[in-house]
Amino acid sequence: MRIQKFTLRHILGFKTESLDLEKINIIYSKENETGKTTLMRAILYTLGFPIPSTELIKFSDFEFIIDAMIGKKKYIIVRKAQLLVINDNEYDLPVDQASAHFFLFNTSNSEIISNILGTIYFDQEKGWTLLNRGTIIGENRFKIESFFRGLKDDESDYSYRLAVKISGLEKKIAQYKLMVNVSEYQESINRDVEKNLNYKTYEQKLDEELLAKRIRLQKIEEEIATITELMKKNKSFSDFISAKKVYVKNPIDDSPIRVTRETLFGYVDTEEINSARKSKLIAERNRFKKEIFEREQAQEREEILFDLPNIDKELTQKFNAMQNFSSMQVKIILDKFQKEKKELTDILKNRTQQNNKWIFEALEIITNYAEELKIPVDYKIDIFTSNLKGKSGAILHKMVFIYKLAYVKLLSKKLGYPLPIFLDSPSGREVEKNTIDDMFKIIKRDFPTHQVIIASIYDYNELFSNPKIIPMNRTLFEKDNLFDSK
């Protein structure tokens, strides 16, 4: 992917300003709070990611446009608040985010889509300590297990159900940990009581909704299969015509015209429409699968949780009646959820690692880079580690860098095109400049086809050949002098 141009316009009608981007781009200012991070985040925001605004501007006050190329295909991406338009296909964010990214990044793998931002973006606040899992920026998260499941193409129903169940347990665990805040929980229960909620009627309604969802899911699956078959037949037809070297007469000058997918009237447009429709259907299918499984999980919980009375409902009733409740009861449930989550997580982790060639490739890349950057050998290379204690700031900075470069390399290989790399403030307090220089030499040497966008207090002009320097002076999003680039 190569971002060729970034354009912005204030919704009040200020003049439109554009910035052409090159292969290496350095958003530069010696001072902080000049708009470097804001520009980088605005670009990611335009690509459809839920990026929070900075203190400088409110993204929803602007219309952003990106001209980009993936391979030989051109993309025009327009972002206006929650509306995202990609090549005239409209998506309502955040509902259609997955569908939009399926189309933009040319993949229907939901595990890959959910981890793209954490792969390509090194955030100044958390990204330089995010080794393999955690929050990237805003509500965006990266999970190494999910990432490698995506590379492995493990989207089986079993793995999907495990992932959804773990997610449900995480929410339940968080809920029980917050039960000390009795007032908020009481308010939630009271609202249900005020509405005279009848639990039996409510359960019956949920069952009816579940049946309707299953019927809708079946129809979606059928439509996906139909579109897939149609796209396959269209491709076979165009390939057949091209192979046969069929020509037709030009009605203007009688010269022959070769029949290919490009000269077939409306073929490319139809292909894009089918692809966009399929992307939306896949996103809708995944949403229905999740909702159905969450409902099924709720039905099963009473059977598998305890042989004892349902303490969960009992506690809810006690809160409603403002009765005292035993902290031991809460701890029993919390402990049960945590143990169940650990068991399921271990199962899913084993499935992810089993016969996964991508993990071995990642280890090889990381090990080689660790040796090159002189990371001490006693720092164990463990992609799935949760233990970051004892790693100094400088060492952790290096490790994050080489881990994520491995992720970028593998994901680009999987998708079939080089992903851009966004580096926000790579010079940490404990990182010497010669270390940063060594890190960037790796990018220059091993990622020559990748577009790189760096926001920094250094221009790194001596490291890269003719980089695009974008000086920042706090006027980025004002009416005049939006860009002062050279």
Entry field: residues in the chain = 486
Record the pTM: 0.70
Of 351, 380, 397, which residue sits at a domain end? 351
Does 110 fall in a domain?
no
Query: Nearest to residue 202, comparing CAs of 292, 295, 293, 291?
Result: 295
133-137 and 121-122 beta bridge pairing: unpaired
Q: Which of 88-102, 132-146, 188-202, 468-482 has the lowest mean pLDDT?
A: 188-202
Q: Which of 79-83, 110-114, 299-303 has the lowest mean pLDDT?
A: 299-303
264: CATH: 1.10.287
Q: Give the confidence band of 120 by pLDDT, cuts at 50, 70, 90.
A: very high
| 342, 360: one domain | no
Higher pLDDT, 212 or 260: 212
Of 351, 369, 387, which residue sits at a domain end? 351
| 124, 186: one domain | no
Q: What is the 3-state secondary structure (H, E, C) of 17-75?
A: EEEECCCEEEEECCCCCCCHHHHHHHHHHHCCCCCCCCCCCCHHHEEEEEEEEECCEEE
pLDDT surpassing 60 at residue 482: no
Does 486 fall in a domain?
no
Does 103 fall in a domain?
no
| 252, 360: one domain | no
193 vs 179, 185, 261, 320, 449, CA distance in Å?
A: 19, 13, 62, 8, 61
pLDDT surpassing 80 at residue 264: no
pLDDT surpassing 50 at residue 308: no
Does 108 fall in a domain?
no
Cα gap 143→110, rounded to integer Å: 13
Q: Which of 82-91, 247-256, 360-369 has the lowest mean pLDDT?
A: 247-256
| 62, 197: one domain | no
Helix (H, G, I), strand (E, B) or coil at 174: helix
| 345, 364: one domain | no
Domain encompassing residue 383: 2-93+117-154+356-471
| 366, 423: one domain | yes
| 186, 300: one domain | yes
Does 484 fall in a domain?
no
| 362, 308: one domain | no
Q: CB atoms < 10 A from the CB of 463, how many?
A: 17
Of 320, 351, 382, which residue sits at a domain end? 351
Q: Give the confidence band of 84 by pLDDT, cuts at 50, 70, 90.
A: very high
pLDDT surpassing 80 at residue 209: no
Helix (H, G, I), strand (E, B) or coil at 99: helix
Does 423 fall in a domain?
yes
Alpha helices in 245-326 (DSSP H): 267-304, 311-320
Cα gap 339→266, rounded to integer Å: 56
142-146-147-148 Cα dihedral, nearest 10 degrees: 150
Element (H, E) at 93: none
Total domains, the chain: 2
Does 112 fall in a domain?
no
Peptide bond into 418 cis (omega under 30): no
- Radius of gyration, alpha carbons of the chain: 26
Cα gap 470→457, rounded to integer Å: 11
pLDDT surpassing 80 at residue 156: no
Residue 59 · residue 51 · CB < 8 Å: yes
462: CATH: 3.40.50.300
Does 231 fall in a domain?
yes
Mean pLDDT of all residues in 211-240 = 84
| 122, 199: one domain | no
| 384, 450: one domain | yes
The pLDDT tens digits of the residues spanning 415-446 come to 999 999 999 887 755 567 788 888 889 999 99
Residue where the block lists tokens 């996906």: 224
Tokens of 233: 């037949």
| 324, 363: one domain | no
pLDDT for the residue numbered 185: 52
pLDDT for the residue numbered 406: 95
| 309, 199: one domain | yes
pLDDT for the residue numbered 55: 74
Element (H, E) at 143: strand 140-143
